[in-house]
Amino acid sequence: MPEYAFAIDRYGDGEGKQWAVVQEYAAPKTIDAQAARWRRREALAVVPHVLDLAPEHIFLRERRPQKGGAQYEKVAEERAFEV
């Protein structure tokens, strides 16, 4: 459904616990902001049921295009890794 600009990633810990990250791609300026908010609410209302996950195991992330070189800038220096 092209009017819903979402990507959903599902994760599990191998022991039965599962989470999902719903990534919303920011609507272009040509799309009414109220319509975009309605679509977000509608999507977040059905995702727990479709994926059979508790709402607290679903996280929202908004993706938006970055201007110029900002997309590739280093955000932080962290050297801790978890395997």
pLDDT at 65: 77
Asked if the structure places residue 24 within a domain, the reply is yes
Asked if the structure places residue 38 within a domain, the reply is yes
Q: Please, which pLDDT band fits residue 4 given cuts at 50, 70 and 90?
A: confident
Burial of 33-53, coded b for 16+ CB within 10 Å and e otherwise, reads eeebeebbeebeeebeeebeb
pLDDT at 74: 60
pLDDT at 47: 93
Separation of alpha carbons 19 and 35, rounded Å: 27
Closest CA to 4 of 33, 20, 27: 27
The number of distinct structural domains making up the chain is 1
pLDDT at 55: 92
52 phi/psi in degrees, rounded to 5 = 55, 50
Asked if the structure places residue 74 within a domain, the reply is no
Asked if the structure places residue 71 within a domain, the reply is no
Domain that holds residue 22: 6-65
Asked if the structure places residue 75 within a domain, the reply is no
pLDDT per residue as tens digits for the range 15-72 = 989 999 999 988 888 889 898 899 999 989 999 999 999 999 999 998 887 776 655 5
CATH number of the domain to which 28 belongs:
3.30.429
